[in-house]
Amino acid sequence: MIFLEGDESVGLWFVLRGRVKIIKQSLGGRVQGICVMNRGKCFGSCPLFNTDENPASAQALDNVDILILPDHYLKNVTEQDPELADILLQIFSQRLEHLARLSEGLGAWAVPDRINDCLLTYADYTHDTPTVTLTHEKLADLAGTAREVVTRHLTRLEEKGVIQTAIGKIFLLDPDSLKLPCILDGE
């Protein structure tokens, strides 16, 4: 773990290498994946100007190199550099949009749609075939469901020719099909 929910915030973190998953845990112990941060992304921004505690936990998904800009440094720099302040506001705005989409999905979308959305969101589109490198368990955390449900849904998608799975990878053969609501009605 990089930090835990409730820990004192020490600054803004940047992923230089690897992936970091942001998670929130309910009082009952259920874990909800919020997002995955890849190289070049930052996290830990919520407490910067609001509270002193992290509202979620950050966990390395693989070997990571991270850089931290301390709170006090960041506050001074943003006061002196309006361009950096604008960039941070854009980042915060994107996070709010993501959280709004996540809360809408958890409340209103069917589980297959949430899994499809995670596949589309976390795919690496730099390959000829978009590729997701998350485990079934990590996809389940992000979609707010059980690993077994993800496995069954991926099997059905593979049978339909929408995806192809390999060890540690999911290839999106027909990403446009994943954008359709409830591609596999009846799940």
What residue spans define the domains of the chain? 11-108, 111-178
Alpha carbons 77 and 22: distance in angstroms, whole number = 26
Q: Which residue has the higher pLDDT, 74 or 122?
A: 122
pLDDT at 95: 75
Is the pLDDT assigned to residue 78 strictly greater than 60?
yes
Q: How remote is the C-alpha of 67 from its chain's centroid?
A: 19
Confidence of residue 106 (pLDDT cuts 50, 70, 90): low
Alpha carbons 103 and 161: distance in angstroms, whole number = 29
Q: Which residue has the higher pLDDT, 179 or 27?
A: 179
Q: Which residue has the higher pLDDT, 165 or 89?
A: 165
Q: Which fold has domain 11-108?
A: Jelly Rolls (2.60.120)
Q: 111-178 architecture in CATH?
A: Orthogonal Bundle (1.10)
Is the pLDDT assigned to residue 184 strictly greater than 60?
no
Residue with tokens 């297959």: 112
